[in-house]
Amino acid sequence: MAMKSFYRLLLLCLLLALAGCATGPGSTQAPTVNPQAQAVAVYHIGVDDQLQVSVWHNPDLSVSVPVRPDGMITVPLIGDVQAGGRTPEQVAAEIKDRLQAYVRDPQVAVILTSLRSHEYLSRVRVTGAVRTPVSIPYRQGMTVLDAVLAAGGTTEFAAPDRTELYRKSGEGTQSYAIRLDSILQKGNLTTNYPVQPGDVITVPQRAF
């Protein structure tokens, strides 16, 4: 009985160790879906976001501005301020600091009124040998099959069982093998993985 318990414990340890291994490029292991992928814990301002800059008791200095392609916004009196890649609080702090040369103890608030850059980042893209390569908005519960069907399916030149799903992982990108032909022709949904914002699905052409 003690020996059986030992083997069970050993097997459990091996399973936990395997589960903790990093997934290699082109892996057939299912990708880990981050349930918080849509949420942004600390939002960093992006290009085309719309900002409302409010200076208390100074309506002439309050302005609604879009973030330009260079990441800058223009504020009365102080000119250009870097907004792209920063939080609203960081932008407000810089505006306050620079306004102190003109206004006594300025109280500044920066509010995001339109998150246009977030919409861009929250898309799923399908490229390669599909009928209509697309960039589509992410929806809760979307899978690889949903995205490929939105692209019109594969072309006659596709090699669907060599399809790859690319997902940002830390500082790099992780790829996962998708058996798309098995999904489309056989109804085998084993690799019909849930997608998440920012994923790219690539269907290669077959070799001639």
> Is residue 43 one of the residues assigned to a domain?
no
Residues with Cβ within 8 Å of 201's Cβ and at least 6 positions away in sequence, in order, are 124, 125, 126, 127, 144, 147, 148, 163, 164, 165, 166, 178, 195
CATH code where residue 178 lies: 3.10.560.10
pLDDT for the residue numbered 107:
96
Question: By the 8 A CB rule, do 203 and 132 touch?
Answer: no
pLDDT for the residue numbered 48:
84
Of 201, 206, 22, nearest in space to 192 by CA = 201
Are 98 and 167 part of one and the same domain? no
Residues with Cβ within 8 Å of 66's Cβ and at least 6 positions away in sequence, in order, are 48, 49, 50, 51, 73
Are 145 and 184 part of one and the same domain? yes
**Quick check: pTM over 0.75?**
no
The structural domain count of the chain equals: 2
Any idea which residue has 């719309």 for tokens? 50
pLDDT for the residue numbered 43:
77
Q: Could you say which of 63, 87, 118 is where a domain stops?
A: 118
pLDDT for the residue numbered 34:
58
pLDDT for the residue numbered 189:
94
pLDDT for the residue numbered 207:
76
pLDDT for the residue numbered 204:
93
CATH code where residue 85 lies: 3.30.1950.10
pLDDT for the residue numbered 142:
93
pLDDT for the residue numbered 41:
47
Are 81 and 155 part of one and the same domain? no
pLDDT averaged per 10 residues in sequence order, the chain, 208 residues: 47 43 52 51 80 94 91 93 93 96 94 79 89 90 95 95 89 89 93 92 87
pLDDT for the residue numbered 87:
93
